[in-house]
Amino acid sequence: MIKRFISTLSKQPINITETAWTKIKDIINANNSKAMLFSAKGGGCNGFNYNLETINEEIKNSSLLENDNYKVFVDPITEMYLLNTTIDYIKEDYNKGIFESKFVYIPDKNLATSCGCGVSFSPKNY
């Protein structure tokens, strides 16, 4: 189930599941960070990689999602490539064939295609 949270925009650029928010909060607390930054970087098997990292400053002119005073900024330079992406977090479950806990990124199928690795994507050309 995807639950949407407060954004500084009238429509959020990305979605974050409850499970992902729980892990994001854990990571921010464990690293004594102020927030996380979601961005895209060149590389990977499909052209771009999703990137989620801790930061200690606010990113000006960026979209912001908040949950219980925990913040995720969306990189303003790569936001157009990330539109409508959903960030989820899956936990290891051997019975379901999931052998590691990790963030997974689900792109809007109308805007991007992703590869089997789960961290690489290619924007669609129009």
Alpha helices in the chain (DSSP H): 18-30, 79-82
CB 61 within 8 A of CB 79: no
Distance between CA atoms of residues 10 and 102, nearest Å:
29
pLDDT single digits (tens) 17-43: 999 999 999 999 999 999 999 999 987
**Reported pTM:** 0.82
CATH number for the domain running over 11-123: 2.60.300.12
- For residue 93, is pLDDT > 70? yes
Residue 54's DSSP bridge partners are 36
Q: Tell me the average pLDDT across 80-91.
A: 92
How do the domains of the chain map onto residue ranges?
11-123
Tell me the average pLDDT of the chain: 85
